[in-house]
A and B are shown apart, each in its own frame.
Chain A
Amino acid sequence: MDMLSMGDYGFFVWSSFLISFLVFLINYISAQRQFTSVLNEVKSHNENE
């Protein structure tokens, strides 16, 4: 419990952890999605030719 409350600084410490985790996750997912969308774009471009 002490590690969760972080000596009354729990909100600040865990918020920092959570925001960092989210930023990394969002960047990772958006990179993967961007690649998939470009692949589809190039595929449809090829099919139209």
Chain B
Amino acid sequence: MNLKQIYKYGSPPNYFKLSLKAENWFLIPGILLIIVGCLGGLFIAPPDYQMGHAFRIIYFHVPSAYLSMSAYAYMAGAALVGIVWRSNVAFSVAKSIAPFGASLTFLALVTGMLWGKPMWGTAWVWDARLTSQFILLLLYLGYILLHLSIREQRKADLAASILALTGVINLPIIHYSVVWWNTLHQASTISKLSSPSITGDMLWPLLVMIFGYGFFFWGVICRVVASEILKREKRSKWAKQYIKELQ
């Protein structure tokens, strides 16, 4: 893909059409991968020798935790592109990621609590990993609320993007928290694919779920981005033309 093509998709109508086209290319594989991952994780993978069947929560907890962090990185990346190139499309992408990113962070925290209760004897401790993940949720919520609280679109985009970029510092803190501090939370399970700390028959459903979550996430984001672009461009000729073609 050359620069011309990249610039082409920087235009709202082109990105809008691309998003709607790409939606099912992400959603359908995402749903299939999640079904396969769930079957593998819940019924095929053997129970853990220490945690028994409780370890199966890993198939929901780890993918949501990974995706909550990578979604934040995508959001901050889009915010940076938006600031540098004053791109309405990039700001739309950043804004669209925030709600799903926040719900994934919430999911990571809740599934972590459901795993922690039977294994640690407590659902919550203020250790470095849990606290930094909780801060990630606050950053997402801060971004959403800041956007909602400023009426003028450009100012809202700029203020929320600065907050998103500031929050990037939290990502390495979350990742390395289990290395830098003594935490109740265990160390990473698959930080290195060459030497994961779980066996292959437990690992494959986890990888399938991680990809499934990612594909599904982008499928949903495609639709949200299309909505956001159309909303911002409702006065433009192409938006009016698109509505006419639908009728």
B220-247 contacts to A, CB under 8 A, are 220, 223-224, 226-227, 230-231, 234-235, 239-240, 243-244, 246-247
CA distance A24 to B246 in the complex (A): 28
- Nearest-CB residue, chain A, relative to B216: A24
Interface residues of B (CB under 8 A from A): 34, 38, 42-43, 47, 52-54, 56-57, 60-61, 64, 99-100, 103-104, 106-107, 110-111, 114-115, 117-118, 216, 220, 223-224, 226-227, 230-231, 234-235, 239-240, 243-244, 246-247
CB of B117 within 8 A of CB of A12, answer: yes
Q: With A23-B107, A41-B234 in contact, is A9–B54 under 8 Å at CB?
A: yes
* Further contacts, 14 of them, CB under 8 A, given A30-B99, A34-B224: A3-B42, A7-B53, A9-B53, A12-B117, A13-B56, A15-B114, A16-B56, A24-B34, A27-B220, A31-B220, A38-B227, A38-B230, A39-B246, A42-B230
CA distance A30 to B104 in the complex (A): 15
Q: With A3-B43, A31-B224 in contact, is A39–B230 under 8 Å at CB?
A: yes
- Nearest-CB residue, chain A, relative to B232: A38
Q: With A13-B42, A16-B57, A32-B223 in contact, is A27–B117 under 8 Å at CB?
A: no
The B contact surface, by secondary structure, is helix
**Min CB gap B221→A, angstroms:** 8
- Nearest-CB residue, chain A, relative to B226: A35
CA distance A10 to B53 in the complex (A): 8
A25-46 contacts to B, CB under 8 A, are 26-28, 30-32, 34-35, 38-39, 41-43, 45-46
